[in-house]
């Protein structure tokens, strides 16, 4: 069978010279807006290895580092290779972290292409970005590193402390070509990982040089540890002819195009190893590390390119990182815009279960609607919520959204009476600092639609705009409660512990003013033995303008019983961001990312403009790789 290689988007080819964007020095205060020094260049194997920078006989780790430094200072591009490969570089000054503004941008060669779905697709080869402040002032990156928590932080597909070992191709290795394909060796470089997985980096006909860093050819294995993002590649036609890399929303390098706001980075996102905000005044050093491990047939493995970095405050690109007209419901007293001094605190019940606020004086709910537990973020997001009613009584067990400040890390035999505590690694049982960004308060959603089971009830919690206006909710942050997580990890008399087959999804169902459903947004909380870690970004923008949202859960069969879902449906939510003008630019500028390339022009694989192409030549037109 002859495959059609026409009009195929490439993952990993080079547009090196065409992306030499604006990384030149800016003369302000004698400092440079771009990379000053490369401290380490440690790529993993990959199809662009030994070509960018170019390896020459006799090169050492140090001479290759110098070449990478020269390239990056002059607006050139270096390849980091497959998963784990990295570069560490620095600026000649501190890149400031200014409140509410993007601060830093890593340039890459990502572009959007036709065929993308809700997640814009194209060539996205995301890398994690780590940053460091020169605490000891010695000008060397020997200080604490912080991770920029991007849109995939904490999600079930994001694996921390993931290790991959590449094994050097043995002497006398016999290539495994894929018939009628540019793949010349499908078993070229073997890798093994810390999860018991293994696979190969393939060699393709476009890149026939050695893919192993030649200055390290004496080494039999190369091992890298980092954060792995879920694979983002899609075989669009199902026959291996068109691979599309979905972009992740924000917070990575070589993921969104350089001209997209979503490629910019806010140092506010820096967190330590436990997910606590770093609160850095600024940074001096940056580490960029390839975060995906995936092969894409004939176009080879995904491998991040770095084409420079920019201090946006010096270069003049520091747009507001919170978007225009976005308000956030934080559940913090100081952010409340109404009259009451301690509004959100006053809504935290004095015990987690059976308290007066959520269950009434008698402990069985209140029977007068005027007394039902409710809240309203008046003058801010205008979001509101009220406990559900069942048989004339309003109580939290009927479903609702309760304000909380309880925090705990114990997962052994957590009783149902501990329903309002958010799980935070290492935290003592207590109150405060459990919310997103170590804030004091958040809310706990409880309820599920169990009407699929006989005898099951509908207790979905409702979030609604209290002023009757429909708006787009951009996103919220979600974390697990200790009660939920203890059941998932250890099981209980209600619910079995998760196995490889288990999943639990949080659903946000949008409704317009007429009660018509606008859509459903899904966040996977549990995926087999992986679960959400820390506060995790939940994109709600696809629901469009909504008057209300109902939260629901969808679970695998092992989590169901005679009355519906057995898993305790309690999940924490915080920092709910609303676009106030109905349209808005969206937080972090996610929507409206542009298509990067000019449809009229044709480039060769090194990015040179072409007037014509010869038969059999692969060129780039409109961001797509085309075989003539
Ligand atoms: Ca900032
Ligand atoms: Ca790239
Ligand atoms: Ca230092
Ligand atoms: Ca909060």
The CATH code of the domain that includes 343 is: 2.60.120.1350
Given 558, 579, 600, the domain boundary residue is: 579
Structural domain including 470 reads 329-579
Cα–Cα distance for residue pair 261/250, rounded to 1 Å: 9
**346 and 296, same structural domain?**
no
Share of the chain above pLDDT 90, in %: 77
Ligand nearest to the CA of 102: 1
Cα–Cα distance for residue pair 614/628, rounded to 1 Å: 7
**373 and 306, same structural domain?**
no
pLDDT value at residue 288: 98
pLDDT value at residue 581: 74
pLDDT at 27 over 50: no
Whole-number Å distance, alpha carbon 305 to ligand 2 midpoint, is 5
Whole-number Å distance, alpha carbon 100 to ligand 1 midpoint, is 5
Across 174-185, average pLDDT: 94
Cα–Cα distance for residue pair 457/450, rounded to 1 Å: 5
Across 328-348, average pLDDT: 94
pLDDT value at residue 140: 97
pLDDT value at residue 339: 84
Cα–Cα distance for residue pair 302/245, rounded to 1 Å: 9
Ligand nearest to the CA of 292: 2
Cα–Cα distance for residue pair 185/203, rounded to 1 Å: 5
**245 and 97, same structural domain?**
yes
| Closest C-alpha among 541, 559, 364 to residue 452 | 559
Whether residue 225 is contained in a domain is answered as: yes
Ligand nearest to the CA of 111: 2
pLDDT value at residue 164: 98
pLDDT at 622 over 70: no
**552 and 440, same structural domain?**
yes
pLDDT value at residue 627: 57
**164 and 83, same structural domain?**
yes
pLDDT value at residue 521: 98
Find the range with the poorest average confidence among 279-293, 309-323, 369-383: 309-323
How many structural domains comprise the chain? 2
Ligand nearest to the CA of 434: 4
pLDDT at 265 over 80: yes
**334 and 311, same structural domain?**
no
**308 and 399, same structural domain?**
no
Tell me the residues surrounding ligand 1 (ion) with CB < 5 Å: 97-98, 101, 103, 266-268
Whole-number Å distance, alpha carbon 597 to ligand 3 midpoint, is 40
Across 338-359, average pLDDT: 95
Cα–Cα distance for residue pair 576/95, rounded to 1 Å: 29
pLDDT value at residue 10: 33
Across 30-55, average pLDDT: 94
pLDDT at 382 over 50: yes
Yes or no: say if 312 and 96 are a contact pair by the CB < 8 Å rule: no
pLDDT value at residue 19: 34
Quote the mean pLDDT of the chain.
88
Whether residue 620 is contained in a domain is answered as: no
Whether residue 160 is contained in a domain is answered as: yes
**212 and 338, same structural domain?**
no
Whole-number Å distance, alpha carbon 104 to ligand 1 midpoint, is 8
Helix (H, G, I), strand (E, B) or coil at 64: helix
pLDDT value at residue 483: 97
pLDDT at 92 over 50: yes
Q: For residue 45, what is the DSSP state?
A: S
Across 317-325, average pLDDT: 82
pLDDT value at residue 22: 38
pLDDT at 136 over 90: yes
**319 and 360, same structural domain?**
no
pLDDT value at residue 24: 39
Cα–Cα distance for residue pair 152/446, rounded to 1 Å: 24
**338 and 296, same structural domain?**
no
Whole-number Å distance, alpha carbon 74 to ligand 3 midpoint, is 25
Tell me the per-residue pLDDT of 548-599, one tens digit each, with 9 for 90 and over.
999 999 999 999 999 999 999 999 999 999 998 743 333 222 222 222 223 4
Whether residue 376 is contained in a domain is answered as: yes
pLDDT at 474 over 50: yes
pLDDT value at residue 297: 86
Whole-number Å distance, alpha carbon 255 to ligand 1 midpoint, is 20
Please report which helix (H) or strand (E) contains residue 54, including its range: none
pLDDT value at residue 586: 30
How far, in Å, are 455, 459, 505, 553, 566 from residue 556 at the CA level? 19, 19, 9, 10, 10
Ligand nearest to the CA of 14: 2
The separation between CA 413 and the C-alpha centre of its own chain, rounded to angstroms, equals 32
Whether residue 609 is contained in a domain is answered as: no
Cα–Cα distance for residue pair 146/268, rounded to 1 Å: 11
Q: Look at 494 and 13; give whichever has higher pLDDT.
A: 494
pLDDT at 212 over 90: yes
Yes or no: say if 453 and 566 are a contact pair by the CB < 8 Å rule: no
**389 and 285, same structural domain?**
no
Cα–Cα distance for residue pair 129/229, rounded to 1 Å: 12
Whether residue 593 is contained in a domain is answered as: no
Whether residue 186 is contained in a domain is answered as: yes
Specify the pTM.
Answer: 0.86
pLDDT at 25 over 50: no
For 582, what's the count of Cα atoms within 13 Å in the CB-facing half-sphere?
3
**415 and 505, same structural domain?**
yes
pLDDT value at residue 226: 98
| pLDDT band, very low/low/confident/very high, at 113 (cuts 50, 70, 90) | confident
Whether residue 10 is contained in a domain is answered as: no
Ligand nearest to the CA of 290: 2
| pLDDT band, very low/low/confident/very high, at 176 (cuts 50, 70, 90) | very high
Whole-number Å distance, alpha carbon 601 to ligand 2 midpoint, is 20
Whole-number Å distance, alpha carbon 249 to ligand 1 midpoint, is 18
pLDDT value at residue 620: 62
State the pairing for strand pair 422-423/406-408.
Answer: parallel
| Closest C-alpha among 11, 22, 24 to residue 109 | 11
Burial letters for 72-107: b for 16+ Cβ neighbours within 10 Å, e otherwise? bbebbbbbbbbbbbbbbbbbbbebbbbeebbbbbbb
Given 272, 303, 324, the domain boundary residue is: 324
| pLDDT band, very low/low/confident/very high, at 17 (cuts 50, 70, 90) | very low
Whole-number Å distance, alpha carbon 433 to ligand 4 midpoint, is 9
Given 563, 579, 595, the domain boundary residue is: 579
pLDDT at 600 over 50: no
pLDDT at 7 over 50: no
pLDDT value at residue 123: 86
Whole-number Å distance, alpha carbon 311 to ligand 1 midpoint, is 11
Ligand nearest to the CA of 329: 4
């Amino acid at each position: 069978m002859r495959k059609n290689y026409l009009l195929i988007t490439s993952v990993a080819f080079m547009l090196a010279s065409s992306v030499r964007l604006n990384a030149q020095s800016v003369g302000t205060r004698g400092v440079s807006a771009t990379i000053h020094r490369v401290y380490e260049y440690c790529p993993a194997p990959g199809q662009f290895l030994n070509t960018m920078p170019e390896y020459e006989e006799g090169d050492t780790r140090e001479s290759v580092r110098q070449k990478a430094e020269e390239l990056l200072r002059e607006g050139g591009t270096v390849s980091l290779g497959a998963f784990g490969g990295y570069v560490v570089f620095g600026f000649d000054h501190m890149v400031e972290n200014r409140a509410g503004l993007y601060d830093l941008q890593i340039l890459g060669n990502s572009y959007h292409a036709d065929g993308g779905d809700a997640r814009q697709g194209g060539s996205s080869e995301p890398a994690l970005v780590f940053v460091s402040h020169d605490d000891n002032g010695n000008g060397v990156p020997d200080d604490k590193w912080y991770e920029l928590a991007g849109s995939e932080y904490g999600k079930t597909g994001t694996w921390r402390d993931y290790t991959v070992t590449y094994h050097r191709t043995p002497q006398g290795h016999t290539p495994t070509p894929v018939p009628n394909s540019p793949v010349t060796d499908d078993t070229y470089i073997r890798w093994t990982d810390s999860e018991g997985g293994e696979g190969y980096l393939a060699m393709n006909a476009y890149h026939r040089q050695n893919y192993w860093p030649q200055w390290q050819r004496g080494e039999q294995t190369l091992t890298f540890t980092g954060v792995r993002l879920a694979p983002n590649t899609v075989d669009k036609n199902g026959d291996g002819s068109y691979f599309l890399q979905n972009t992740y929303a924000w917070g990575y390098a070589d993921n969104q195009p350089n001209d997209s706001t979503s490629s910019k980075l806010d140092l506010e996102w820096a967190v330590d190893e436990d997910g606590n905000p770093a609160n850095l005044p600024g940074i001096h050093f940056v580490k960029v590390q390839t975060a995906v491990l995936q092969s894409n047939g004939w176009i080879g493995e995904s491998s991040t390119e770095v084409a420079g970095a920019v201090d946006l405050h010096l270069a003049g690109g520091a747009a507001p990182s919170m978007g225009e007209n976005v308000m956030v419901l934080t559940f913090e007293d100081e952010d409340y815009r109404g009259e009451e001094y301690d509004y959100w605190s006053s809504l935290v019940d004095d015990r987690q279960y059976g308290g007066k606020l959520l269950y009434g004086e008698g402990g069985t709910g209140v029977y007068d609607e005027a007394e039902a537990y409710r809240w309203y973020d008046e003058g801010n997001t205008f979001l509101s919520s009220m406990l559900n009613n069942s048989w004339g009584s309003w109580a939290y067990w009927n479903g609702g959204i309760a304000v909380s400040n309880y925090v705990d890390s114990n997962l052994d035999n957590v009783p149902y009476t501990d329903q309002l505590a958010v799980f935070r690694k290492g935290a003592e049982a207590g109150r405060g600092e459990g919310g997103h960004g170590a804030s004091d308060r958040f809310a706990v959603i409880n309820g599920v639609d169990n009407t699929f089971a006989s005898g099951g009830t509908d207790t979905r919690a409702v979030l609604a705009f209290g002023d009757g206006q429909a708006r787009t909710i951009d996103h919220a942050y979600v974390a697990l409660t200790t009660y939920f997580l203890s059941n998932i990890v250890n099981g209980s008399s209600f619910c079995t512990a998760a196995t490889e087959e288990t999943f639990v999804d949080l659903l946000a169902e949008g409704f317009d003013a007429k009660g018509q459903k606008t859509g459903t947004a899904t966040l996977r909380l549990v995926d087999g033995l992986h679960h959400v870690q820390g506060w995790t970004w939940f994109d709600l923008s696809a629901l469009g303008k909504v008057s209300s949202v109902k939260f629901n859960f969808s679970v695998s069969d092992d989590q169901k019983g005679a009355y519906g879902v057995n898993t305790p449906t309690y999940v924490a939510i915080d920092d709910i961001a609303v676009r106030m003008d109905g349209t808005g630019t969206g937080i972090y500028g996610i929507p409206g990312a542009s298509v990067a390339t000019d449809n009229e022009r044709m480039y060769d694989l090194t990015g040179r403009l072409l007037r014509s192409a010869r038969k059999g030549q692969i060129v780039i037109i409109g961001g797509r790789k085309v075989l003539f």
